[in-house]
Structure 1
Amino acid sequence: MALVVTALVASTNCLASDFGSLREPGFDLLTPAPHQIDIEADDTYQFLVGANTLRRRINSFPDSAISLQHDMGVSQMQLPEVLLSYWFDSVNAAQFQFRYFGLYGSKPQTQPLAFGGSIIGPPQTGPVGAPMGQSLNPGGTRWYTFGGYYERRLTPLYQDHEQGLPVFLQGWDLRAKIGLEFTYNDFRINDGSPNFSQRSLFEARIRFHDKGLPIPAIGLEARRWLAPTVAFEVTAQGYWANKWDSGRGEGGTVYDSQSGFETHWRVVYSNRDWRGFAPFAGLSYYYSKYTQTSAGVGNLLRVQMIGPQVGFNWSI
């Protein structure tokens, strides 16, 4: 984060007029115009990899590490996203991000699971020994992220010093951003009402947003032409917070910890005759870990996924 902030501050002496030589007549994917609005929309089909875990502890009751894949049948997620940017000039922009997480899957329960001070029912057995338990799924889950950022082009820091560098390091348009991201996550198992093996005082859900905080996030974006109408784009964005006082209590102060990283690798098609419309396709990776702890509660959600992505940029 310190490197991004330093780069943003160092580039404040570079005016929008410094980019005049880079911009050709008409729309340019790499060089925004003053007062330009960029609308980016994409959809990603992510396949879960590694350990993807959900836990909820109440007081000293035991809790199970519930696997999204092996216990709930979630093997993939869908992540539609909208990103809006307004360029005050050719250097500075304000950006808003919205994303929705769609979870799909269901799996017959094979073992009792401790969750939130109760036991999600052990599978029953039929008269001939066949399992008759319930199926578990993430139905009813509501999961969104909202982000607000300041974005700045860093090209003037190096555009006059590219000579002598290898060809693949020349011609990049680099941008940095810094802002806040907030996660709204109401995670539910069977819409909060699976069969319990004993009477439960709670629903099978975790309202992460009730004790969650907006978290500072930073990002980098880089674009480079591969051909007259084809560009390569790579982005990286992340955030980290460890045991921040959430201002809420549940058996003591609840500490909020969040960490996440995502990267996108895309090929963009940009034709001047298309008046700012530029479709793209590529690959996306996403990791997130959300932990909330106190003497009376322990919540955890960890996901890691990778998958193909398609979308478009539209500049007006």
Structure 2
Amino acid sequence: MAIVVTTLLFSANCFADDFFSLRDPGYDLLTPAPHQIDIEADDAYMFTVGSNTLRRRINSFPDSAISLQHDLGVSQLQLTETLLSYWFDSVNAVQFQFRYYGIYGSKFESQPLAFGGTIISPNQKLNPGGTRWYTFGGYYERRLTPLYQDYEANLPEFLQGWDSRAKIGLEFTYNDFRINDGSPLFSQFSQYEARIRFHDKGLPIPVIGLEERHQLGYNFAVEITGQGYWANKWDSGRSEGGTVYDSQSGFETHWRVLYASPNWRGFAPFAGFNYNYTKYTQTSSGVGNLLRVQLFGPEVGFNWSI
């Protein structure tokens, strides 16, 4: 993260005089125009892969590792994402990101599950109904291409012609995860609902990201993005049987092919694949919350530059 911050600040200072020496981008897929607004929207049909687990411990009561797929029937999610970018010039931008996780599925569960200080009864259908899961992010984005564009001729051919961008910012997750909307059948009296409000003890987390674009032909370009975050046992400022420590990690990447016609005036549809990994852990002597989700699937969407 320190390397990205240093690069962004250094490049912004060194190339401040070069903003208006860049070529007029028009509706170029690689080079934004000053005061350009980019609207990006995509819809991904994501499949759960690997271990996807939910846990909730209250005090010393045992808790089960609940499989999203095998216990709740979650084999796919719908992941929609919207990005809004404003370019102050051809190099610097501010960006806002919103994601929505639509989680579906159901499963008849024949085993009892320990969750949140009680037992969820066996022989009932369980589902993630009622779950509300969103993320909100704000970033500073900087084109890195001006740092090396005068030296590209010395690079191998496959490294030439790429437009590189880096960003840094904060992301906050709102996740109210519920089993049967918080009210499955319990084997014993429970003062708790079957839900985890991760956002109650969650913190805004620093995020870094990179984006690469390359022209494939007159109307086509490839776009590869990646961003991630990692925080380990941060004091959440909340107490539940002692200080609750918040740990979060995540990574997402998109691999897309874009198409832009000069007659479409900045509108560029795309198709590709998306990988998303998310893990939340919140722990104290009185509570232990865990959600780990790994997703992969195809996506379609569009970029619109105005």
TM-score, length-normalised on structure 2? 0.98
Q: Does residue 1:108 correspond to 2:108, yes or no?
A: yes
Show the counterpart of 1:57. 57
Equivalent residue runs for 1:1-316 within 5 Å: 1-12=1-12, 13-15=14-16, 17-18=18-19, 20-24=21-25, 26-122=26-122, 133-316=123-306
Deviations 1:16-57 (A, max 9, x none): 744644445x31111111111100000011100000000000
Q: Aligned partner of 1:113: which letter? A: L
Which stretch of the first structure deviates more once superposed, 2-11 or 64-73?
2-11
Give the fraction of aligned pairs with identical amino acids, expressed as a percent. Answer: 77
Q: What 5-or-longer segments of structure 2 have no aligned partner?
A: none
AA of the residue aligned to 2:194? A
Is 2:22–2:90's contact at 8 Å kept on the other side of the alignment?
no
Query: Deviation string for 1:260-302 (max 9, x for gaps)?
Result: 0000000000122110000000000000100000000000000
Mapped partners of 2:219, 2:20: distance in 1: 21
Which whole-Å CA distance do the structure 1 matches of 2:242 and 2:286 have between them? 7
For 1:19 and 1:136, the matched residues in 2 are separated by: 59
Partners of 1:136 and 1:27 lie apart in 2 by 49
Provide the rounded CA distance (Å) in 1 between the counterparts of 2:19 and 2:131: 48
CA contact (8 A) 1:49 1:304 kept: yes
Once the two structures are TM-superposed, the CA of residue 15 in structure 1 deviates from its matched residue by: 2.6
Cα pair 2:196 2:289 within 8 Å, conserved: yes
C-alpha contact 1:284 1:309 (8 A) present in aligned 2: yes
- The one-letter amino acid of 1:271's match is S
Q: CA 1:182–1:314 in structure 2 vs 1: closer, same or farther (change >3 Å)?
A: same
Contact persistence 1:16–1:90 (CA under 8 A): no
- The letter of the residue matching 2:164 is L
Letter in 2 for 1:219: G
Size of the aligned set, in residue pairs, is: 305
CA contact (8 A) 1:95 1:151 kept: yes
**Superposition deviation, residue 2 in structure 1:** 2.1
* Closer/same/farther in 2, CA of residues 34 and 109 from structure 1, 3 Å limit: same
Tell me the secondary structure at the aligned position of residue 105 of structure 1: coil
Runs of 5+ consecutive residues of structure 1 not aligned to the other structure: 123-132
CA distance in structure 2 between the aligned counterparts of 1:155 and 1:23, rounded to whole angstroms: 15
The letter of the residue matching 1:140 is G
**Distance in 1 between the 2:217 and 2:24 partners?**
17
Residues 108-139 of structure 1: CA distance to partner in whole angstroms, max 9, x if unpaired?
A: 012000000000002xxxxxxxxxx2100000
The answer as to whether partners of 1:289 and 1:300 remain within 8 angstroms in 2 is yes
Compute the RMSD of aligned alpha carbons.
Answer: 1.0
CA distance in 1, matches of 2:163, 2:20: 11
